Amino acid sequence: MRLDAVDHRLLAALAEDARIPNNALASRAGVAPSTCLARVRRLKEEGVIRGFHADVDPARAGRPLQAMIAVQMRGAARTRLSAYLQRLADLPGVLHVFLLGGAHDFLVHVAAPDSDALNEFVIEHLSTDPDVALTETNLIFQHARAGWY
């Protein structure tokens, strides 16, 4: 699917505020409200827009400790990376999972209530898994949401 300037303006406005009313979105994109509605519908149908989500602050939601955990799988488990990615994504406290090329197979972004809970997560869900060869936990002190669009 080819995106034009209007599509990019729509995506930028929605990335900034997914709850923007259609008439305001249309105005920002420079199109009629009916055109805007049709364009957004098409962007969703084509998979360009995957969904609309709340940007929840983990700290204010009771999970102030965030970490990026690098996971390296054992050789035999590499045939099941896609399934393992989804399994990781379904674990409690997981915010994002990235399948990587390089020394590590995954980066898992987690939020936990405290260091004991983070330690328990790593041990219970990763270190004791026979498919996991190695984990490396890095604490996140600060982060900023990028304004990609």
Task: Report d(CA 57, CA 27) in Å as an integer.
Answer: 30
- Phi and psi of 132, rounded to 5°? -90, 125
CA 53 to chain centre: 10
pLDDT computed for residue 130 by the predictor: 94
Q: Is the pLDDT of residue 148 over 90?
A: no
What is the distance between the alpha carbons of residues 27 and 10, in angstroms, rounded to a whole number? 10
What pLDDT shows up at residue 137?
A: 98
Question: 84-120 pLDDT, tens per residue?
Answer: 999 999 999 999 999 999 999 999 999 999 999 999 9
* H-type alpha helices, the chain: 5-16, 22-29, 33-45, 81-89, 115-121
pLDDT in tens, 16-68: 999 999 999 999 999 999 999 999 999 999 999 999 988 899 999 999 999 99
Helix axes 33-45, 22-29, angle to 10 degrees: 90
**Alpha-carbon separation of residue 89 from 17, 25, 84 (angstroms):** 25, 32, 9
Question: Cα–Cα distance between 123 and 132 in angstroms, integer?
Answer: 11
Full-model pTM: 0.85
Residue-range domains of the chain with CATH: 5-45 (1.10.10.10), 65-140 (3.30.70.920)
- Calculate helix-pair angle for 5-16, 22-29, nearest 10 degrees: 130
